[in-house]
Amino acid sequence: MYRFKLLISGLGIAIFAISSALGQNQFDALRYSQLDITGTARFSAMGGAFGALGGDMSSMSVNPAGIGVFTRSTGSATLGILSVGTDASYLGVESSDLKMNANIGNAGFVARFKRKKGQDKQWAWKAFHLGVSYNRTANFQRRTSVVGVSQSSSIVDGWVNQLNNDGIFYADIPSELVPSAEFSNAYLGWGTFLIDTMPGSVNSYMRNFAPSYGQTQQVRETTKGSMGEIALTFGGNFGNSLYIGTTIGIPRLSYEVERAYSESDTQDTISSFRSFSKTDFLRATGNGVNIKFGMIYRPVKWLRLGGAIHSPTWFEIEEEFTSSVTSDLELAGQYTLATANGAFDYRLQTPFRAIGSLAFVVGKIGLISADYEYVNYSLAQLNSRNYSFNSENADVKSQLHWAGNIRVGTEWRIKSFSVRGGFAINGDPYSGEYNFDNTRYSLGGGFRFKHFFVDLSYNLHRLVNSYELYNAAIAETVTMQHSVITTVGFRF
């Protein structure tokens, strides 16, 4: 067996630099394209079904025309407490983890400029509105633990296959693999003696321990961050029957993930192997812009119709990342190899959205509303000045597709008190065989007076998804997100 021992000769621990970008892919495009607006307590209690209602600070991020429904200048702020529990099932083993977080879900102010008396005749513009609001549009807070005993594969098998498919000469591994994002994992495996050449070969590779299985595989992944949007909205009320508006959205994202993966021979069944671990860290930040147009029409007092179009969001994203592998082999000993801190900038264009809405209003005592949202995730596009994303964009088109999101809500009033309920179902964005279910149930209530209001809501968000440890290993996860949201507001 040949080894390029000059790399790590005589060292128990060796650290080398790899200046390669971690691959951006369809999962990154989907993560930043999916929205889960926290909003005000009233908005969340009614499942976010405000496309035909308006009059709420969060509605400006759904249908900008909702700003025209405000009858007074209004300011409000929203605080949420979040508990996220994730249960995972992998190879018959169940595991769970929990994370808690507090956040500002919404804050904003709407100024209403009404016409003078005598100028607000029928079919005249009754009022104009200017508003600025912040909405939390996605939450990335989560901790996931997965554990199981594999009898059929190892993550190292994939690294070996990469080298064998490429046929690279072993002495060229440092110069050819170090600059390559695609082969960075294979290089880490090679440099920590998890991979070696086949006996008598200079370009065929194998695992540097017995080709048997039964190792315990474990992942612990912690994600942090969120997406939020500042919405600058202008709209008006025409004849108390037609409301129109437009929003310039300025979203910002912050995402951080630390993933610790390990395999260990806890049963002492694999010759020459004790354990190895791989740690990945990624931090992404980005800013973007989009524009939204909307209208709400009230043909009769008891019916409201709404429609909105959201342009794509154009993001500029910066990533920082690092990876390391530590091995512990019976014959080779312990080795660690780590990449240098890397950085990569790229652009993401998310898909456009179209929303149709319907609401039935029962006098001043109640209402029922519903939204249907269309979004085609396969239209997301990654691009960069320094890299061609042709392969990744092909994966976006082939592995993602369109989805329909449904939101339904209701509210009933008794004098100054209101009780509310709602649910939301987000359609499956995957065109493959990934298991997916995304539903939200909510309820709440609140008091509204002439110049002051306070609302409270409880939300249960259930997300069933597939979690990929590596290409040949898929776990099923169920995430239950519980949140309590409070909004306080003033009307002038």
Indicate whether 19 belongs to any domain: no
Indicate whether 17 belongs to any domain: no
Whether this model's pTM surpasses 0.85: yes
Of the listed ranges 186-195, 326-335, 355-364, 468-477, the one predicted with least confidence: 468-477
Of the listed ranges 172-176, 271-275, 424-428, the one predicted with least confidence: 172-176
Angle ∠(485,487,492) on CA atoms, nearest 5: 170
d(CA 139, CA 117): 46
Q: What pLDDT is attached to residue 166?
A: 85
Cα–Cα distance list, 131 to 40, 109, 145 (Å): 15, 6, 42
Q: List the structure tokens of 37.
A: 């607006």
Of the listed ranges 144-148, 198-202, 445-449, the one predicted with least confidence: 198-202
Q: pLDDT (tens digit, 9 = 90+) per residue, 105-149?
A: 999 999 999 877 666 565 678 899 999 999 999 999 999 999 999
Domain total of the chain:
1
Which residues share a beta bridge with 102? Answer: 81
The string of DSSP letters for 426-471 reads EPP-BSSS--EEEEEEEEEEEEE-SSEEEEEEEEEEEEEEEEEEET
User: At 415, is the secondary structure helix, strand, or coil?
Assistant: coil
Q: Tell me the residue type at 362.
A: V
User: At 39, is the secondary structure helix, strand, or coil?
Assistant: coil
Among 450, 369, 352, which residue's Cα sits nearest to residue 54?
369
User: At 173, is the secondary structure helix, strand, or coil?
Assistant: helix
Count of positions (residues) in the chain = 492
Cite the DSSP H helix spans in 329-412.
Answer: 390-399
169 has a pLDDT exceeding 90: no
CA 60 to chain centre: 21
Q: Tell me the residue type at 94.
A: E
d(CA 124, CA 469): 61
- The CATH number of residue 61's host domain is 2.40.160.60
Q: What pLDDT is attached to residue 120?
A: 57
Most confident of 9-13, 26-30, 46-50, 195-199: 46-50
432 has a pLDDT exceeding 80: no
Q: Higher-confidence residue: 166 or 130?
A: 130
Q: Are 227 and 103 in contact (CB under 8 A)?
A: no
Mean pLDDT of 311-325: 96
Indicate whether 20 belongs to any domain: no
Which residues share a beta bridge with 464? Answer: 437, 478
Q: What pLDDT is attached to residue 339?
A: 84
Q: What is the mean pLDDT of the chain?
A: 90
Indicate whether 4 belongs to any domain: no
Identify the residue whose tokens are 């929003």. 247
d(CA 284, CA 7): 32
Residue 209 φ/ψ, nearest 5 degrees: -155, 170
Indicate whether 3 belongs to any domain: no
Quickly state the pLDDT bin for 7 (edges 50, 70, 90): very low
Indicate whether 14 belongs to any domain: no
Q: List the structure tokens of 316.
A: 């500029």
Q: What pLDDT is attached to residue 5?
A: 39
As a whole-number percent, the residues of the chain with pLDDT over 70 amount to 92
User: At 387, is the secondary structure helix, strand, or coil?
Assistant: coil
Indicate whether 245 belongs to any domain: yes
182 has a pLDDT exceeding 70: no
Q: What pLDDT is attached to residue 117?
A: 67
Among 69, 70, 32, which residue's Cα sits nearest to residue 375?
32
Identify the residue whose tokens are 């594999």. 150
Which residues, in sequence order, are CB contacts of 58 under 8 Å at separation 6+?
Answer: 37, 39, 40, 43, 48, 50, 106, 133, 135
Q: Higher-confidence residue: 184 or 60?
A: 60
Mean pLDDT of 11-18: 34
Q: Are 226 and 141 in contact (CB under 8 A)?
A: yes
Q: Count CB-CB contacts under 10 A for residue 123.
A: 10
**Tell me, what DSSP letter sits at residue 266?**
T
Quickly state the pLDDT bin for 180 (edges 50, 70, 90): low
Q: What pLDDT is attached to residue 11?
A: 35
Mean pLDDT of 436-445: 95
Q: What pLDDT is attached to residue 18?
A: 33
Torsion of CA 475, 472, 337, 12, to 10 degrees: 100
d(CA 31, CA 257): 13
Mean pLDDT of 84-97: 92
Q: Tell me the residue type at 308.
A: A
d(CA 260, CA 278): 6
Indicate whether 16 belongs to any domain: no
Q: Which domain holds residue 196?
A: 28-491
Mean pLDDT of 39-67: 96
Q: Are 71 and 457 in contact (CB under 8 A)?
A: no
Q: What pLDDT is attached to residue 471?
A: 81
Quickly state the pLDDT bin for 178 (edges 50, 70, 90): low
Q: pLDDT (tens digit, 9 = 90+) per residue, 349-382?
A: 999 999 999 999 999 999 999 999 999 999 999 9
d(CA 180, CA 159): 13
Cite the DSSP H helix spans in 285-388.
Answer: none
